[in-house]
Amino acid sequence: MFGYKENYSINLILQEVLIMEIENLFALETKIINNRVVFKFTFTESEITELRMVKTIEMLKKVLDSFHRDEIKHICFVFVINSIRMPSNMKLIKDFASTFHSYSEVINEKLDFTIIQSSNNIFKMFFSLFRMYYDPIKPLYMSKDDATTEKCLDSKIFYKFHI
């Protein structure tokens, strides 16, 4: 009834419809504070599945593509992660991280710092251990709540909020 070309086109359309209905792993909020574009990613606490990761990576690529706009000079990431279950397929985390690598030049140019916000004590302990062995190229801060994050974003001297 349908040839290969038609079946392929139908499959692509179905994949796009399915991906549109899949929720992202992070809710994205964007605002401007102190002449800096702040991208706030709040983890939805959904299970990390392959389809959700594909959808999230698509969203992340759109955010990272916006870094190339000339009018954007300063950027900050905020990741709000209060609980997370590691996926059984760790390749999904690797795929997420590798998305940043392909944008490393523009990230190095425009990203001022990143804040990871978490009230989870285990996550904070993991972050402290992580920081012992990893020295980020751009400043990386830990915040316990919205109020601390807002103080950090509002401050021109944000290094005081490093934990």
Condensed to tens digits (0 to 9), the pLDDT of residues 42-62 reads: 999 888 888 888 899 999 999
The answer to whether residue 145 is domain-embedded is yes
Which residues fall within 8 angstroms of residue 131, CB to CB, at 6 or more apart?
Answer: 140
Domain of 102? 23-161
> What CATH number is attached to the domain comprising 100?
3.30.750.24
pTM: 0.77
| Overall domain count for the chain | 1
Give, rounded to a whole angstrom, the gap between the first and last alpha carbons of the chain.
63
Q: Tell me the pLDDT of the chain averaged across its residues.
A: 80
